[in-house]
């Protein structure tokens, strides 16, 4: 089975500072990886995905992530944090089970932005 581990259940940064949210994966096949964001009382919104090709993936809201096979990592970054970035962030890996896709999520990282 594939899995992802998010290091740090809570990350706090100042407005304008670099955001770095860590995700490591475990997969016996080439992984398909996703980052989602969840604002309070809402569903999950796709930030970006890595399937094949370019290892640096750009997403919405200024976020990007780099797939590093040697480190089994897919960390999410944003150069300058904004107050509106405060939310829960989930890293996920896609599995193929019983002929269908199963998205397996990490435990999540709550991002707090300090003014």
CB of 90 to other proteins, least distance (A): 6
Binding site for other proteins (CB under 8 A): 32, 34, 36, 41-46, 49, 51-52, 90, 94-108
Q: How far is the CB of 80 from other proteins (least distance, A)?
A: 26
Pick 18 or 97: Cβ nearer other proteins: 97
What are the residue ranges of helices labelled H in 1-114? none
Task: Tell me if 32 sits within 8 A of 101, measured CB to CB.
Answer: no
For the record, the structure tokens of 9 come out as: 């259940």
- Between residues 21 and 106, which has the closer beta carbon with respect to other proteins? 106
Contact criterion met (CB below 8 Å) for 50 and 57: yes
The nearer residue to other proteins, 54 or 100, going by C-beta atoms, is 100
User: Is 85 strand, coil or helix?
Assistant: helix
């Amino acid at each position: 089975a594939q899995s992802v581990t998010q290091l740090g259940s809570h990350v706090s940064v100042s407005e304008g500072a670099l955001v770095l949210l860590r995700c490591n994966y475990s997969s016996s096949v080439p992984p398909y990886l996703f980052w989602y964001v969840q604002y309070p009382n809402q569903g999950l919104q796709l930030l970006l995905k890595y399937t094949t090709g370019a290892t640096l993936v750009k997403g919405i809201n200024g976020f990007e992530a780099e797939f590093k096979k040697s480190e089994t990592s897919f960390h999410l970054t944003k150069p300058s944090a904004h107050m509106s970035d405060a939310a829960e962030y989930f890293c996920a890996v896609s599995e193929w089970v019983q002929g269908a896709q199963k998205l397996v999520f990490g435990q999540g990282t709550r991002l707090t932005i300090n003014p």
